Amino acid sequence: MSSDSSKKRKPKVIRTDGGPQEGKRSRPDADQDARYYSEEAEVDLRGPSKDYELYKQTCQDLQKLMAEIQELKSKGNKDSAAEIEERRIQSCVHFMTLKKLNRLAHIRLKKGRDQTHEAKQKVDAYHLQLQNLLYEVMHLQKEITKCLEFKSKHEEIELVSIKEFYKEAPAEISKPEITTSDPHQQTLSRLDWELEQRKRLAEKYKECLANKEKILKEIEVKKEYLSNLQPRLNSIMQASLPVQEYLAMPFDQVHKQYETARHLPPPLYVLFVQASSYGQACDKKLAVAIEGNVEEAKALCKPPEDSQDDESDSDAEEEQTTKRRRPTLGVQLDDKRKEMLKRHPLSVTIDLKCKDGSVLHLTFYYLMNLNVMTVKTKVTAAAEMTMPISAGELLSLDSLLSCLYPGDHGKRTPNPANQFQFDKVGILTLSDYVTELGHPYVWVQKLGGLHFPKDQPQPVIADSSLSASHMERTMKLLKMRLESRLALQKQFASLEHGILPVSSECQHLFPAKIVSRLVKWIALTYEDYLELSYTKDVVEAGLAEDTHLYYLALIERGTAKLQAAVVLNPGYSSVPPVFSLCLNWKGEKTNSNDDNIRAMEGEVNVYYQELCGPKPGYQLLTNQLQHLCVVLDVYLETETHDNSVEGPKEFPQEKMCLRLVRGPSRMKPFKFNYPQGFFSHR
């Protein structure tokens, strides 16, 4: 390095002093190097105060010489040229002195920085030693606490009370003259008495075991007698098999169910028959049963004329009571509402079992006066699952079966005639009673063979062909809905802890290294989603409804924070989630002011089929969030670095891209190409 620096300084020496050509080291150059190194030594010998005094004196002399030169020039004498030249030389000498002082100051500054760095390293070493000592102190304090909190095994033993001890224990064990004044000796004596008692109990235990052995031998003798009797009973049962088949005894339970089915109302009867037939033909695990009070159902089966007479009598009685008691109008109105919303005593239950062992329990009811069917649901998971906070609405009664078919929310009655019935008793809508009665979905009516035409109202009769045409598809949709919700529940449990559970079958969709990470996953209400400024496009497009589920994900990398508002359609995963993005980095960036943010939304909303993974695609949401982490990395790493900012680039480029940007809108390459491992534009 010294030779290189000397070569760089040679041209300057040649120009000023007229020395030898480049490549030849002359004696003045050697002297110059010697002076350079002597200046470093001079810093140690002389303090900065003396340099400051010399600097002040040199500046004063220089000012004085400049004033004298100006004075001589102003006189204009020809004889003063020599004096001016002499003072100019002196001024040059002073300038050389100032340069030397400047070099000394820089050398002194460098040494000061080096000394500061050494002192800082010593302080860091001392601080590390202090931390080690504090850790040792903390460890010793923990050990002291453990010792103080140590509990002996005898504390877990339930000893007899002190009064019983002195009353029952012999004097050679209790030693009252010693133990009454010494608690330690008292405890030892009580333990000795406990040991003595346990020895006696152990002897009794051995005696009981001997008696038990005798009894067991007697039991074995009787078992042997019964085992010899078992083959004879088996032969008798085998001989009675033809009789059982003739009497249909193995199907006793089935016969009871069908006997009970005679008392079902027509829609529930159609549902029971069609569901049982579907289970026998297509799904052996499907369980169909009838629940409820059979006696009450039998009591309902009366001739129509009698029922009409009873109704007229009841109406007459109600008129009389209204004339007698005017204050009971509100009570009578409540009774009329209950009577109108009354369910049939019998109900049909269907248990759908999935491959993983989870069961969807469906209970179908029939509202007799409204002529509609309702359903209530319950889910039994195959194994105990932790319920994430954000998954509260996944398996709820209002959300689980909502929109099984598009637009079927189950909040309104499908029977147009019910609205006139509601007006009579002051019921505004059936949605206020769905928690108690169940949801009247349209597909539930079709399973019961009920169809309510809106164009041409006509009497509704349960049609078994209508139920049969919808049974298979509805059962498959119910299974898919349960499986998708259980899969989402497992994914939400990981998402709330910042983990993206990408399956092994989907690893090839993403690069090996992803720096951005998910830090938050929470559920939103429909009102909270509408208040977000960057979700207006989704709301205006009609893709966000109050029956959908809403969530907010936060992805971070360094100072960049990406918020993703997610609309989860009840028909997931056949209907993909919709993402709205907002990047907080160097300002707020959304799809309205940044084309690349719009392209990132397109990666997960438009090209979602590339992220579905293996069928049925229940990993779509997790893959979309993982892809958002990838495109955020690409966005940040391909961003141009501001050269005016000192220091390294905040997000160094780690992804391989064919082109960083393209077109006048400076679009970034978000498409990942497997197995090449590079990113390109679409």
Residue 375 to residue 410: CA distance in whole angstroms = 10
Higher-pLDDT residue of 31 and 511 is 511
Name the pLDDT band for 29 (thresholds 50, 70, 90): low
Between 149-163, 459-473, 523-537, the lowest mean confidence (pLDDT) is in 149-163
Name the pLDDT band for 138 (thresholds 50, 70, 90): very high
Name the pLDDT band for 27 (thresholds 50, 70, 90): low
pLDDT at 3 over 70: no
**List of residues 6+ apart from 658 with CB closer than 8 A:** 669, 678, 679, 680, 681
Region 307-331: what's the mean pLDDT? 54
Cis peptide before 573 (omega within 30 of 0): yes
pLDDT at 5 (0 to 100): 41
pLDDT at 11 over 50: no
The answer to whether 288 and 349 have CB atoms below 8 angstroms apart is yes
pLDDT averaged over every residue in the chain:
84
pLDDT at 235 (0 to 100): 83
Beta bridge partners of 679: 657, 672
Between 112-126, 255-269, 558-572, the lowest mean confidence (pLDDT) is in 255-269
In the block, residue with structure tokens 């699952």 = 385
**List of residues 6+ apart from 338 with CB closer than 8 A:** none
Between 67-76, 100-109, 357-366, 488-497, the lowest mean confidence (pLDDT) is in 67-76
The structure tokens listed for 190 are 């009580």
pLDDT at 682 (0 to 100): 84
pLDDT at 475 (0 to 100): 93
pLDDT at 534 (0 to 100): 93
- Angle formed at CA 431 by CA 425 and CA 437, multiple of 5 degrees: 85
Report the range out of 115-129, 154-168, 225-239, 441-455 with the highest average pLDDT: 115-129
Region 38-47: what's the mean pLDDT? 77
Between 214-223, 320-329, 493-502, 606-615, the lowest mean confidence (pLDDT) is in 320-329
The structure tokens listed for 117 are 């760095």
**List of residues 6+ apart from 467 with CB closer than 8 A:** 270, 271, 274, 446, 447, 448, 449
pLDDT at 372 over 70: yes
Amino acid at 115: Q
Between 41-45, 546-550, 623-627, the lowest mean confidence (pLDDT) is in 41-45
Higher-pLDDT residue of 48 and 154 is 48
The structure tokens listed for 612 are 């579905």
Region 250-254: what's the mean pLDDT? 58
Amino acid at 547: T
pLDDT at 320 over 60: no
Residue 567 CA: distances (Å) to CA of 25, 578, 618:
79, 5, 16
Region 625-642: what's the mean pLDDT? 89
Report the range out of 134-138, 192-196, 308-312, 433-437 with the highest average pLDDT: 134-138
pLDDT at 232 over 90: no
Q: What is the pLDDT of residues 280-307, one digit of tens each?
A: 888 888 899 999 988 888 888 765 444 4
**List of residues 6+ apart from 605 with CB closer than 8 A:** 576, 578, 579
What is the model's pTM? 0.59
pLDDT at 425 (0 to 100): 85
Residue 64 to residue 522: CA distance in whole angstroms = 79
